[in-house]
Amino acid sequence: MNIPHLFPCGLNRREALWQMGGGFTGIALAAILEEQGFFRKHLGAAEPAIRASSPHFAPKARAVIHLMMNGAPSQVDTFDPKPLLEKYAGKPLPQDKKYINSGGRKVGFLTPAFRPFRPGGKSGIPISDYFPHVRSHADKLAVIRSCHTDSHAHGSALVAMNTGSVFIGRPSLGSWCVYGMGTACKNLPAYVVMMDKRGGPISGQPNFGSGFMPGQFQGTLFRPVGTPILNLKGPDNPFIQRTQLDLLAKLNEDHMALRPGGTDLAARAQSYELAYRMQTEAPEAVDFATESKQTLEMYGIGREPTNEFGRNCLIARRLVERGVRFIQLYSGGGHLDDTWDAHVSIEKNHGQHAREVDQPIAALLWDLERQGLLESTLVVWGGEFGRMPFSEGPGEPGRNHNPYGFSSWFAGAGIKGGTTYGATDDFGFEAIENKAHVHDLHATILHLLGFDHERLTYFHQGRDERLTDVYGHVLRGILN
C-alpha cells in the first residue's frame, strides 16, 4: 500500500509547498492593492456612522412610506380589471399558461372579480369597490399592472420584495435608502417599521434587517399605542444616565481605537445614544393630543375596523414631518389566515382587510398633500405577489398565489398621477407589456431618492453589492 509521507501539520510536501506559495502570492497581492489605494477606497463602506451620501442627482423624494399588504392581494379584484373573466367564467385557464401550483391546491375555473370596478378621478382609472376611498385619489396614483417576482412562496417572496433577493441575509430596501440618504433627525430612527397587531410578516426580521450593513441601518419596530419602543423609558435621574452613557462611550471609543473596523460595536454605541435621545422624542411622535378631532375621524381612528391601521398611517405622516426617511406599515400578520392570503374566499378576506386600510390610506394621501409633504414623500402600495384569475375549485371562491403578474401603485414625489403602466394578459395571469420586476420597482424608488441604483453600492466580501444586484431599470413611464 502506498502511504504518503506527511508533515506534522497533516500535509504532504506537495500540499505544503502549494499552500505556502498561495500565501506568498496573497502577501504580494495585498501589497499591490495597498499601493493602488484599494483598501483606502473601500474603507468608508464599513464606516458605522449614519451619514448622508451625496445624491447622484437632484432627488424628488425625501422620504418613503411603504404600505405592505402582507399575504398578497388579488390584482384582478383590486387594480387590474379583466372583463374577459366574465365572458370565460367557468372555463379553465388556457393550457399554454404554465404555472407552479403553490401548495398543490385545487385548481378551479376562471372567476370574475368579486366586486365591480368603477372609474376614479379625471383620469378614470378603474379601481375596485374594495377601495372606494383610494379610488377618489386615482389622479395621484401610478398603477403598475405588470409586476412580477421570482417566488410563489410567501416567505421568500416577501424577502424578495423587501431586499431584492429570495435569500435571507441581504440589506432591506429601507436599509439601502437610509444608507444612501442618511438621517434627517437625530432623535428618531431613520427607518421605522409598524406591524399589524396580529403579528409580523413571514420570515420576520430579515424583511427589515440590515444584512451585511452595520446594524444601525436596520428598521426599528414602533408600537402605535403606549411607549412606541419597548424598554425605552430611562431612569428617574437623567444626570446619572448621561454620566453612565458618557463613561460607556469613552470605554467603547478606547476599545475601537485598538481594534479598527469593528462596525458592530460602533453600531451598538450609536444605538445607546439614539435610545437616550428618543426617550422624549419618540413618545411625542405617537401622541395625537395636538391632532384635531376631524383628522382622527378622517383616518378612522377610534372605531373599528380602521382604528389600528389608521393610527399607523397618522404616525407615518407625523414621522415624515420629523425627518424619518423610511416608514413601512404592514397590513395583515401572524398566521396566514390573518393576512391577505385569500385561498378560501376573496370576498371574505379582501372585504375584511380592505375595510381596515382603504379609508386610512386615502386619509394619508390627502393629509400628506394638505401638509405640503406629498410632493417630497413617495408612497408605495403592494404585496409580495398576486393571485390567480381562477378559483380553487367549484364552490371555493379563493385564489392561489401568482408571481407572474400583479399590481402595485406609487404616489407622491416625482410620480405621474392618473397613470397606468404595463399590462397583464386578457385574464390577468401574467405580465406581458412593460414588465416590471421587483428589481425595477427598487431601481425606481432609488431613482426618486436621487440615486442611480447601479452606483449606490456597499463593499462586502470583495464585491460592490447593490440592492438590485446586476438587474433593474427605472420605470420612467410613471415619472413626471
User: Looking at per-residue confidence, does 146 or 43 come out higher?
Assistant: 146
Q: What pLDDT is attached to residue 47?
A: 41
How high is the mean pLDDT of the chain? 87
Q: What is the mean pLDDT of residues 55-75?
A: 97
pLDDT exceeds 50 at position 52: no
pLDDT exceeds 50 at position 193: yes
CATH classification for the domain delimited by 60-226+286-478, as one of 1.10.287, 3.40.50, 1.10.3470, 3.40.720:
3.40.720
Q: What pLDDT is attached to residue 459?
A: 94
pLDDT exceeds 80 at position 101: yes
Q: What is the mean pLDDT of residues 450-479?
A: 96
Q: What is the mean pLDDT of residues 185-207?
A: 90
Q: What is the mean pLDDT of residues 115-144?
A: 98
Least confident of 121-125, 166-170, 239-243, 279-283: 239-243
Calpha distance 107→396 (Å, rounded) = 10
Residue pLDDT, tens place only, 422-449: 999 999 999 999 999 999 999 999 999 9
- Name the band, by pLDDT with cuts 50, 70 and 90, for residue 168: very high
Contact 214, 305 (CB under 8 A): no
pLDDT exceeds 70 at position 16: no
- DSSP 8-state code for residue 98: -
Q: For a pLDDT cut of 90, what percent of the chain falls above it?
A: 69
pLDDT exceeds 80 at position 135: yes
Question: What is the Cα 26 distance to its own chain's centre?
Answer: 40
Residue pLDDT, tens place only, 322-366: 999 999 999 998 788 899 999 999 999 999 999 999 999 999 999
Q: What pLDDT is attached to residue 266?
A: 63
Contact 285, 322 (CB under 8 A): yes
Calpha distance 85→100 (Å, rounded) = 21
Residue pLDDT, tens place only, 301-317: 999 999 999 999 999 99
Q: What pLDDT is attached to residue 48?
A: 38
User: Looking at per-residue confidence, does 103 or 448 come out higher?
Assistant: 448
SS3 content of the chain, % helix, strand, coil (to 5): 40, 15, 45
Q: What pLDDT is attached to residue 84?
A: 97
Residue with cell 401603485: 409
Residue pLDDT, tens place only, 232-278: 555 565 566 566 656 766 776 777 677 665 556 566 556 555 555 55
Q: What is the mean pLDDT of residues 212-229?
A: 82
Q: What is the mean pLDDT of residues 30-58?
A: 57
pLDDT exceeds 80 at position 45: no
pLDDT exceeds 50 at position 40: no
Q: What pLDDT is attached to residue 332?
A: 94
pLDDT exceeds 50 at position 380: yes
Cis check for the bond before 8: say yes or no (omega within 30 of 0): no
3-state secondary structure 105-153: CCCCCECCCCCCEEEECCCCEEEECCCHHHHCCHHHEEEEEEEECCCCC
Q: What pLDDT is attached to residue 295?
A: 98
Q: What is the mean pLDDT of residues 116-134?
A: 98
Q: Is the pTM of this model over 0.85?
A: no
pLDDT exceeds 60 at position 132: yes
Contact 145, 371 (CB under 8 A): no
Domain parsing of the chain, residue ranges: 60-226+286-478, 232-284
Task: Give residues with Cβ within 8 angstroms of 462, minimum separation 6.
Answer: none
